[in-house]
Amino acid sequence: MSLYENYRKTSINYDKTRVPIGLEIILGCFAKSGKPLNEMIVLDAGCGTGSYSHALHEYVRRIEAIDINPAMVEIASRKLKRHREEGRITFSQASIDALVFTSRMFDAIMINQVLHHIDNPNDQGYPTHHRMLREFHRVLRPKGILVINTCSHEQLRHGFWYYRLIPEAFGEIIRRYMPIDQLIEMLFEYGFTYRGSFVPLHDVLQGEAYFDPYGPLKKQWRDGDSVFALVTPNQLYRACERIRDMDSRGTLLSFVKEHDSQRKVTGQATFLLAVRE
């Protein structure tokens, strides 16, 4: 299970604010595999409610989508019922660090916004990341593509205006994200060649909802960012009071504007491209 987010509960609201970003980047990375897109078999690792599989299935031959959380798998499975019945996509409940797939069966793997869920920051050395990359190397064919969508520490610092309101949870979430440099080192360690990173500068993970200055006051909105699972009731109360206070003084919009200004430079997410040797 995700170590801190209760996706059994938040899965209901997840799709209300989250959008799959960077689709053209992922397709561009897949195209590097040397195989036509429509012949590719792809693993969606940590598929959540299936947003990425839903957006990309029509380009590829088949997707195997896995997630550790049964509620997420259930929603994804329902959403893509027709494609499932046509044999274009399969959903299963499984952890990314213990795959049941045969060796070398995938042409590509995508893993979107999952890494910060898999290891506890107090665990020494990100053990699940290690097991996961070993498994990814095993199930990818030689020259197969790995696309990792995650956030850099700089993006976490500057890409989310509301993190200013919840400094304690921010401090905790940033420790769950492996620094990108370290991730790249680890890719080499497990037999991948790193080919570069891409940032969709104009896309935001929560779509238009991200810009709602009253967003943090609403549970449905908060369910779109797992950082709120790390916010205590007291801290949430303080953050909400601060929003109400700024609203009454007429400074809320300028607060959002000020703390969102760097996002246009850093973006919110980084896509790493690696090739399995």
Ligand X SMILES: C[S@@+](CC[C@H](N)C(=O)[O-])C[C@H]1O[C@@H](n2cnc3c(N)ncnc32)[C@H](O)[C@@H]1O
Q: Residue holding tokens 């078999």?
A: 41
DSSP state string for 165-179: G-HHHHHHHHHHSPP
Binding status of residue 22 toward ligand X by CB under 6 A: no
Binding status of residue 96 toward ligand X by CB under 6 A: yes
By beta-carbon proximity to ligand X, the closer residue of 120 and 254 is: 120
Q: For ligand X, which stretch binds (CB under 6 A), given 34-42, 46-54, 177-185, 216-224?
A: 46-54
Instruction: Select from 10, 17, 18, 173 the one that contacts ligand X (CB under 6 A).
Output: 18
Binding status of residue 77 toward ligand X by CB under 6 A: no
Instruction: Select from 10, 33, 69, 155 the one that contacts ligand X (CB under 6 A).
Output: 69
Q: In what order do the strands lie in the sheet with 140-150?
A: 89-93, 62-67, 41-45, 106-112, 140-150, 270-276, 192-198
Q: Sign of torsion, CA 71 97 186 274?
A: negative
**What is the footprint of ligand X within residues 230-249 (CB under 6 A)?**
none
Binding status of residue 80 toward ligand X by CB under 6 A: no
Left if phi > 0, otherwise alpha if psi is -120 to 50, otherwise beta: which for 46?
A: left
Binding status of residue 170 toward ligand X by CB under 6 A: no
Binding status of residue 115 toward ligand X by CB under 6 A: no
Binding status of residue 68 toward ligand X by CB under 6 A: yes
Q: Which of 3, 274, 12 is nearest to 146 (CA)?
A: 274
Q: Sign of torsion, CA 194 116 17 163?
A: negative
Helix or strand holding residue 158 (H, E)? helix 153-158
Binding status of residue 72 toward ligand X by CB under 6 A: yes
Q: For ligand X, which stretch binds (CB under 6 A), given 94-102, 176-184, 192-200, 242-250?
A: 94-102
Q: Which one-letter DSSP state was computed for residue 102?
A: P
Instruction: Select from 26, 29, 35, 48 the one that contacts ligand X (CB under 6 A).
Output: 48
Q: Rounded distance, CA 211 to CA 101, Å?
A: 40
Instruction: Select from 56, 60, 67, 206 the one that contacts ligand X (CB under 6 A).
Output: 67
Binding status of residue 169 toward ligand X by CB under 6 A: no
Residues interacting with ligand X, by CB under 6 A? 2, 7, 18, 46-48, 51-52, 67-69, 72, 95-97, 112-114, 117-118, 226
